[in-house]
Amino acid sequence: MTTVALKPATMAQALGRALRDAMAEDPAVHVLGEDVGTLGGVFRITDGLAAEFGEDRCTDTPLAEAGILGTAVGMAMYGLRPVVEMQFDAFGYPALEQLFSHVAKMRNRTRGALPLPITVRVPYGGGIGGVEHHSDSSEAYYMATPGLHVVTPATVADAYGLLRASIASDDPVVFLEPKRLYWSKESWNPDGPQPVEPLGRAVVRRTGRSATLVTYGPSVPVCLEAAEAARAEGWDLEVVDLRSLVPFDDETVCASVRRTGRAVVVHESTGFGGPGGEIAARVTERCFHHLEAPVLRVAGFDIPYPPPMLERHHLPGVDRILDAVARLQWEAER
C-alpha cells in the first residue's frame, strides 16, 4: 500500500484543481464566464487558468448569461467541451431558455448526433450573508428538465471528483457548487484525486439504524452535525449524500430507508415545489411498507430568500432537523 499524503484543502481549491487538470488533459476543455480570466472568478475558482492556458481557453465573456451559454452550445457543436461559470445562482436565470430549450434537448433533438458536453457551474445556496439574488437555490428548475444531469458535491474530494466526471460527461451537467462550503477545509490528497465514476451514485456519509437523512450539497454537513447531536436523544441517524439529483440513485436511498424505516429529506431550497417533494414521493412509492412514518421534509421556507440578517431563520439547522426526526412517530416503535 502506498502512503497517501493528506493535506488540508478547501472545496474552492479542489474545484480549481479539477478545472486545471481537465484543461491540461483535454485541449477541448474551455472555461468561459464573467470575470473568470484575469480575476479568477469572484470566488477565485478559476484563478490561474487564464495565466496557464491563455485567454482563449479561459475567457472573460461579455456580461450576458444567455450569450455565454448560447455560445457554449455552438462551441460544443464544434467539438469543444465548454465549462461555463454562472457568477451566482440567480444570475443564471437569463440563460434558462438556452438551458431548457437547447442544452437539455439537443442530443434528443438530433437522435444522438449532436451531444452537448457542457458543464454549467452554478454557485448556489445561502448562508454567506449575501444580499438579495445572491443566495438562491434553483435545483428544482434543473431537476424538472429532462436532458440535464444535476450534480452537487458536499465534500472537498467530491468537489474534485464530481467536477472531473461532469466535465468528462458527454451530456450537459448543471454542476451546483454550495457556495458556503467553498472555504470549508478538509484533509485531501492533492496528488492523486480521482473523478467520481459513474455520475449518479449517492453515498452513505454516516451509517445509522434509526432513520435516514436524505440530503445533498450544503445541507450534508448540517445533517452530519444533526446526526451527532441526535445521539443524545438516542437516535442513530444514517446520512445519505445524494451527490447527483439527476440521475437519482433510487437504489442507495431506498436501501437505506428500507433498513431504517424512517426518513427525513433535508435541503435549503424552498420546501414547496423543491427537490424534497420528488425525493419523498419516490422513496414512498418504493418503500411504502417499510415506512413507520411518512417521509418528512426539512427545507427552506416557501419564501424568497431572506436578507442576510434573517437568513439563519430560513436555513434548515440542526434543531429543525431534530424536530422533524422527533415527529417520525417513534411512539409506534415496536
Ligand X SMILES: Cc1ncc(C[n+]2csc(CCOP(=O)(O)OP(=O)(O)O)c2C)c(N)n1
For the annotated catalytic residues, the residue numbers are: 134
Helix (H, G, I), strand (E, B) or coil at 258: helix
Any contact of residue 273 with a second copy (CB under 8 A)? Answer: yes
Distance in angstroms between the alpha carbons of the first and the last residue of the chain: 46
The interface with a second copy within residues 84-123 (CB under 8 A) comprises 90, 93-94, 96-97, 100-101, 104-105, 108-109
Q: In the numeric block, which cell numbers belong to residue 209? A: 439504524
Query: CA geometry: angle at 301 spanning 296 and 302, to 5°?
Result: 105
Q: Which is nearer to other proteins, 190 or 277 (CB)?
A: 277
| Residues in 152-181 that interact with other proteins by CB under 8 A | 169-171
Query: Whose Cβ is closer to ligand X: residue 67's or residue 94's?
Result: 94
Calculated CA dihedral for residues 264, 265, 266, 269, nearest 10 degrees = -150
Binding mask 9-38 for ligand X (x = CB under 6 A): -------------------------x----
Q: Which set of grid coordinates corresponds to residue 195?
A: 473523478
Query: Which residue among 66, 67, 91, 271 contacts ligand X (CB under 6 A)?
Result: 91
Work out which of 134, 243, 297, 314 binds a second copy, going by CB under 8 A: 297
| Number of neighbours of residue 27 by Cβ within 10 angstroms | 11
Residue 309 near a second copy by CB under 8 A: no
195-254 residues in contact with a second copy (CB under 8 A) are 246, 248
183 is a site residue for a second copy (CB under 8 A) = no
Minimum gap (Å) between residue 313 Cβ and other proteins: 5
On whether the CB atoms of residues 196 and 162 are closer than 8 A, the answer is yes
Nearest to 123, CA basis, from 199, 201, 44, 55: 44
β-partners of residue 297 are 265
Q: Which residues contact ligand X by CB under 6 A?
A: 34, 63, 87, 91, 94
